[in-house]
Structure 1
Amino acid sequence: MSHDGVGLRAVMRSVAFLTAGALAVPALAACSADDEVAKPLAAQDIAPATRDRIADGGTLRWAVDAVPQTLNTFQADADAGTSRIAGAVLPSLYRLDPNGTPQLNPDYLESAKIVETEPKQVVLYKLNQQAVWSDGREIGAADFAAQWRALSGKDSAYWTARNAGYDRIEKIEQGKSNLEVRVTFSRPYADWKSLFSPLYPKDAMGTADAFNDGTRTKLQATAGPFALQKIDHKDGQVLLTRNPHWWGRPAKLSEIALVAVPRDKRAEALGADKVDLAEIDPEEAGRITLAARDKGPAPLQGPGSALTPAKALRSWAVAHGSDEQAASDEIKARKKQRTASATYARQQTSLRDFVVRKSLEPAYTQLALNGSEGPLADERVRRAVARAINRDELAKIVLGPLGLPAVPVGSHLALSGQPDYADNSGALGGQDTKEAQALLADAGWVPGGPVNEQQQQQKKDKDKAAGPEGKKADSDPDSDDGTFIVGEDDKNGEADRDKKDPKDHAAKQGKDEKHGKKDEKQHAGDEAGKDVDGRQYAPKDNRQGGAPGAYAPKGTAAPAGAAAGALAKDGKALTLRFVLPSGPGSDSLRTVADQISRMLESIGIRTETSRVPDDSYFKDHIASGQYDLALYSWPASAFPATDARPIYAKPVPAADGSLAVEQNYTRVGTDQVDQLFDQAIATLDEDESRALVRKADARIWAAAGSIPLYQRPQLTATRLDLANAGAFGFQTPLYEDMGFLKKGAQGGTATQKDR
Structure 2
Amino acid sequence: MSRTPRALLAIAVSVTASALLLSACGGSAGSSAPPPTKKIGQNDINAMSRDKVKDGGILQWGIEQYPSNFNMFAIDSGSGDTPPVVESFMPTPAIADASGDWGPDPDYVESFKLVSSDPQKVEYKLNQKAKWSDGTPITWEDYKSEWQALSGKNTAYEIGSSAGYSSISDISKGSDDYDFTVTYDPKLAEWQDLFNVLYPKSMTSSVDEFNKGWKDTPKVTAGPFKVGNLDKTGNNVTVVPDDKWWGDKPKLDKIVFKYYSSANVEVDGLASGAFDFASVASNIDAFKRTSAMSNVTLRRANLPNYREIVFNGAGNSILNDQKLRVAVIKGINRDPIAKAEIGQLIPDAKPLGNHIFLPGFPGYQDNSAGYLYNPDEARKELDADGWTQPAGAKFRSKNGKQLTIRDAIAGGVKSSLDEAQLVQQQLAAIGVDLQIVQDDPNTFFDQHITPGDFDIANFAQMGDSAPPVTNAQSWFISGDQQQGNVGRIGDQKINDLLKQASSELDQDKRYALVNEIDKQVWALGHSLPLYQRPSIVACRNGLANFGDTGLASIRYQDIGWAK
Question: Does the alignment reach a TM-score above 0.5?
Answer: yes
Say which is worse superposed, 372-381 or 591-600, in terms of deviation. Answer: 372-381
Q: How many residues align?
A: 529
- Looking at structure 1, the residues matched to 136 and 445 of structure 2 have their Cα atoms a distance apart, in angstroms, of 42
Distance 1:672 1:186, change over 3 A: closer
C-alpha distance after superposition, 1:271-306 (max 9, x if no partner): 4433323436737725733753xxxxxxxxxxxxxx
- Per the alignment, residue 288 of structure 1 pairs with 289
Say which is worse superposed, 247-256 or 82-91, in terms of deviation. Answer: 247-256
Distance 1:168 1:672, change over 3 A: closer
Is the partner of 2:533 in helix, strand or coil?
Answer: strand
Distance 1:661 1:270, change over 3 A: closer
8 A Cα contact 2:306 2:460, kept in partner: yes
8 A Cα contact 1:428 1:704, kept in partner: no
C-alpha distance after superposition, 1:681-729 (max 9, x if no partner): 2334444333211221122224433221112344434322212223445
- Looking at structure 1, the residues matched to 398 and 219 of structure 2 have their Cα atoms a distance apart, in angstroms, of 64
8 A Cα contact 2:224 2:250, kept in partner: yes
- Looking at structure 1, the residues matched to 334 and 102 of structure 2 have their Cα atoms a distance apart, in angstroms, of 30
Distance 1:140 1:369, change over 3 A: closer
* Superposition deviation, residue 676 in structure 1: 0.9
- Per the alignment, residue 710 of structure 1 pairs with 531
- Per the alignment, residue 237 of structure 2 pairs with 238
C-alpha distance after superposition, 1:370-399 (max 9, x if no partner): 567899677666545444544343222222
8 A Cα contact 2:267 2:290, kept in partner: no
- Looking at structure 1, the residues matched to 382 and 65 of structure 2 have their Cα atoms a distance apart, in angstroms, of 47
* Superposition deviation, residue 92 in structure 1: 1.6
- Per the alignment, residue 494 of structure 1 pairs with 393
- Does residue 366 in structure 1 map to residue 308 in structure 2? yes
AA partner of residue 644 (structure 1): A
- Per the alignment, residue 694 of structure 1 pairs with 515
Q: 1:631 aligns with which of 431, 448, 458?
A: 458
Give runs of aligned pairs for residues 7-22 of structure 1, distance below 5 A: none
- Does residue 144 in structure 1 map to residue 178 in structure 2? no
- Looking at structure 1, the residues matched to 416 and 458 of structure 2 have their Cα atoms a distance apart, in angstroms, of 7
Is the partner of 1:125 in helix, strand or coil?
Answer: strand
8 A Cα contact 2:301 2:548, kept in partner: yes
AA partner of residue 681 (structure 1): S
AA partner of residue 435 (structure 2): T
- Per the alignment, residue 437 of structure 2 pairs with 611
TM value normalised by structure 1: 0.60
- Looking at structure 2, the residues matched to 130 and 96 of structure 1 have their Cα atoms a distance apart, in angstroms, of 22
Distance 1:124 1:371, change over 3 A: same
AA partner of residue 400 (structure 1): G
8 A Cα contact 1:288 1:356, kept in partner: no
8 A Cα contact 2:75 2:450, kept in partner: no
AA partner of residue 418 (structure 2): T
- Does residue 590 in structure 1 map to residue 423 in structure 2? no
Distance 1:676 1:724, change over 3 A: same
Distance 1:45 1:607, change over 3 A: farther
AA partner of residue 441 (structure 1): K
Is the partner of 2:87 in helix, strand or coil?
Answer: helix
8 A Cα contact 1:4 1:363, kept in partner: no
- Per the alignment, residue 32 of structure 2 pairs with none
- Looking at structure 1, the residues matched to 508 and 297 of structure 2 have their Cα atoms a distance apart, in angstroms, of 41
8 A Cα contact 1:39 1:416, kept in partner: no
Distance 1:155 1:375, change over 3 A: closer
- Per the alignment, residue 113 of structure 1 pairs with 113
Give runs of aligned pairs for residues 500-649 of structure 1, distance below 5 A: 575=403, 577=405, 579-581=407-409, 583-585=411-413, 587-600=414-427, 604-614=430-440, 629-636=456-463, 638-645=466-473, 647-649=474-476
Distance 1:88 1:449, change over 3 A: closer
Is the partner of 1:253 in helix, strand or coil?
Answer: coil
Distance 1:116 1:399, change over 3 A: same
AA partner of residue 285 (structure 1): A
Distance 1:405 1:238, change over 3 A: farther
- Does residue 176 in structure 1 map to residue 175 in structure 2? yes
C-alpha distance after superposition, 1:100-153 (max 9, x if no partner): 5544434433432333344x4322112345545456665321221232344445
Distance 1:3 1:576, change over 3 A: farther
- Per the alignment, residue 126 of structure 1 pairs with 125
- Looking at structure 1, the residues matched to 321 and 207 of structure 2 have their Cα atoms a distance apart, in angstroms, of 45
* Superposition deviation, residue 87 in structure 1: 1.6
C-alpha distance after superposition, 1:583-610 (max 9, x if no partner): 112x2122223333444556x3444333
Q: 2:494 aligns with which of 673, 677, 680?
A: 673
- Per the alignment, residue 422 of structure 1 pairs with 364
- Looking at structure 2, the residues matched to 156 and 664 of structure 1 have their Cα atoms a distance apart, in angstroms, of 15
Unaligned runs of 5+ in 2: 9-19, 25-36
AA partner of residue 273 (structure 2): D
8 A Cα contact 1:677 1:696, kept in partner: yes
8 A Cα contact 2:284 2:342, kept in partner: no
- Looking at structure 2, the residues matched to 278 and 63 of structure 1 have their Cα atoms a distance apart, in angstroms, of 7
Q: 1:400 aligns with which of 338, 343, 355?
A: 343
TM value normalised by structure 2: 0.78
- Looking at structure 2, the residues matched to 216 and 93 of structure 1 have their Cα atoms a distance apart, in angstroms, of 23
* Superposition deviation, residue 182 in structure 1: 0.9
Unaligned runs of 5+ in 1: 10-36, 293-351, 452-491, 496-565, 655-659, 743-755
- Looking at structure 2, the residues matched to 737 and 719 of structure 1 have their Cα atoms a distance apart, in angstroms, of 16
8 A Cα contact 1:252 1:738, kept in partner: yes
Larger radius of gyration: 1
- Looking at structure 2, the residues matched to 403 and 705 of structure 1 have their Cα atoms a distance apart, in angstroms, of 27
8 A Cα contact 1:47 1:726, kept in partner: yes
* Superposition deviation, residue 198 in structure 1: 0.7
RMSD of aligned C-alpha atoms? 4.2
- Looking at structure 2, the residues matched to 86 and 7 of structure 1 have their Cα atoms a distance apart, in angstroms, of 15
- Looking at structure 2, the residues matched to 713 and 364 of structure 1 have their Cα atoms a distance apart, in angstroms, of 8
8 A Cα contact 2:280 2:287, kept in partner: no
Is the partner of 1:412 in helix, strand or coil?
Answer: coil
Distance 1:691 1:127, change over 3 A: farther
As a proportion of its length, which structure holds more helix?
A: 1
C-alpha distance after superposition, 1:567-586 (max 9, x if no partner): x688989955251426112x
Higher relative contact order (CA 8 A, sep 6+): 2
- Looking at structure 1, the residues matched to 457 and 213 of structure 2 have their Cα atoms a distance apart, in angstroms, of 37
Is the partner of 1:612 in helix, strand or coil?
Answer: strand
C-alpha distance after superposition, 1:142-174 (max 9, x if no partner): 221232344445667766554444444343222
8 A Cα contact 1:651 1:668, kept in partner: no
- Looking at structure 2, the residues matched to 214 and 353 of structure 1 have their Cα atoms a distance apart, in angstroms, of 43
- Per the alignment, residue 524 of structure 1 pairs with none
Is the partner of 2:355 in helix, strand or coil?
Answer: coil
Say which is worse superposed, 405-414 or 94-103, in terms of deviation. Answer: 94-103
- Does residue 409 in structure 1 map to residue 348 in structure 2? no
8 A Cα contact 2:45 2:544, kept in partner: yes
